[in-house]
Amino acid sequence: MGAHGTTGELARFSIAIPAELLAAFDAQIARAGGPANRSEAIRDLIRSSLVQNELRTPDAEVIGSLTMIYDHHTGDLTRKLDSVQHDYTAEIVSTMHVHLDHHNCLEILALKGRGERVYELADKLLGLRGVKHGELTCAATDKSLGR
Ligand code: NI
């Protein structure tokens, strides 16, 4: 087993990625002082994604925050965002809306509930056209870990 938990044979694959995106990723690797190279950085991303997905166990109780940045002029995006949120009143503990500039809004949602519902809500909101940036940070509560 390697330093980062690599087991078994290494598989190689190639991916197509916009040059600009790759350059930004390389710059981030250089800054972070973490993983030494692209391969390790991508392995870390995949592991992180797998861990996050484990929290999608339907019955786990999770808490989290959802951050979104969007242009409120995009079609009927604000109405759709609002409409989705009204179907998850039990999971949305609190929201904060900041009008960043003429176009952009920042919205932060504090969430609590069954993993299935919380991730479903995040998927619906972040999947809407016009949401430029979105990130769900989630953690299982002690209850679901049996502590
Ligand atoms: Ni706004």
Tens digits of residue pLDDT in 98-119: 999 999 999 999 999 998 899 9
Residues with CB under 5 A from ligand 1 (ion): 99, 105
Secondary structure element (H or E) that encloses residue 122, with its range: helix 115-126
Per-range mean pLDDT, top range of 27-31, 38-42, 57-61, 90-94: 90-94
132 Cα: distance to centroid of ligand 1 (angstroms): 14
pTM greater than 0.75 (yes/no): no
Average per-residue pLDDT in the chain? 87
Would you say 141 and 61 are in contact if contact means Cβ atoms under 8 Å apart? yes
Q: What is the CA radius of gyration of the chain?
A: 18
Question: Higher-confidence residue: 140 or 138?
Answer: 138
73 Cα: distance to centroid of ligand 1 (angstroms): 10
